[in-house]
Amino acid sequence: MVAKPGTPEDHLPLTPAVLHILLALSDRKRHGLGIMDEVEERTLGSVRLGPGTLYGTIKRMVASGLIDEAEGRPAPEEDDTRRRYYALTVLGRQVLGLEAQRLQHLVTVARDKEVLR
């Protein structure tokens, strides 16, 4: 696959799936199942990633350089050597930050316009 170069801004806006995966990986490395669980917990069940969607998105995010297969694994008790772990890349972290800022700006505008109290 052809890698997608370019600035972090090129990746905005993010699709919901990408955003949630980035968020899930922002605090620690996780494997696929772990990402699914974290997203479901965090959103209180309102966002559920199906396996096909999840891994397809992961594949594309790896190709565009937002995440990577992780070096270094968690502590051996929690580890499962057969599972693949993922982590944010520098680019991924930048993109996540930019998207969060974009959303924050939106919320501010909504507050100003009294859409959101």
Partner 1 sequence: MKDLHAGDRRTLGERCYAVLLGLYPRRFRRSYERQLLEAFSQRYRARPTGRARLWLFHLWDLARSVPREHWDVWRDALRGWRARDGVTGREWMSTVVQDLTYALRSLRRSPGFMVVVVVTLGLGIGLNTAIFSIVNGVLLRPLPYPDADRLVWGYSTFSGGNNASVSPPDYLDYRAENTVFTHLAARRGQRPYALTGMDRPLQGAGQEVSAGFFEALGGVPVVGRTFTVEDERIATNRVAVLSYGFWQRMFAGSDDVLDQAMTLDGETYHVVGVMPPGFRLFNAVDFWTPIGFDADFAQVRRFHFLRLVGRLRDDVSLERAQAELDVISKRLEEAYPASNATWRLVVVPLHQVAVSNVRPALLLLLGAVGLVLLIACGNVANLLLARGAARHSELAVRTALGASRRRVLRQLLTESIMLALIGGIVGSVLAVVGVGALQALQPRSIPRLDEVAVDGMVLAFAFGLSVITGVVFGLLPSLSASKLDVNAALKEGGRSGAGRGDGMRAGLVVSEVALSLILLIGAGLLIESFWRLSRVDPGFDVRNAVTTSVALPSARYETDEQRIAFYDAVRERLRSTPGVVDVAVTSNLPLGGGGNDTYLAVPGRHQLGTESQFNAQNRSVSANFFDVMQTPLLQGRQFTSADRDGTPNVVIINEPFANTIFPDESPIGQRLQIDLGDVYEAEIVGVVGGINHFSLGGQRPAEFYLPLRQSAFGGQNLIVRTSVDPLTVTNAIPRIVSNVDPLLPVSPMFTYEELVANSIAQPRFAMLILGLFAAVALVLAGVGIYGVLGYYVAQRTKEVGLRVALGAKNGDVLRLVVGRGMGLTALGLLVGVIGAFGLTRFMSSLLFGVGATDPVTFMVPPVVLALIALLASYLPARRATRIAPIAALKTDG
Q: Which residues form the interface with partner 1 (CB under 8 A)?
A: 1-2, 31-33, 36, 48, 50-56, 59-60, 82-84
Q: How far is the CB of 56 from partner 1 (least distance, A)?
A: 5
Q: Closer CB to partner 1, residue 60 or residue 93?
A: 60
Please, what is the minimum distance in Å from the beta carbon of residue 117 to partner 1? 35
Nearest CB to partner 1, comparing residues 32 and 74: 32
Crossing angle of helices 32-42 and 16-25, in 10° steps, is 100
DSSP per residue over the chain, as a string?
A: -----S-GGGGPSPPHHHHHHHHHHTTS-EEHHHHHHHHHHHTTTS----HHHHHHHHHHHHHTTSEEEPSS---TTT--TTSPEEEE-HHHHHHHHHHHHHHHHHHHHHHHTTS--
Strand partners, 68: 87
Q: How far is the CB of 4 from partner 1 (least distance, A)?
A: 11
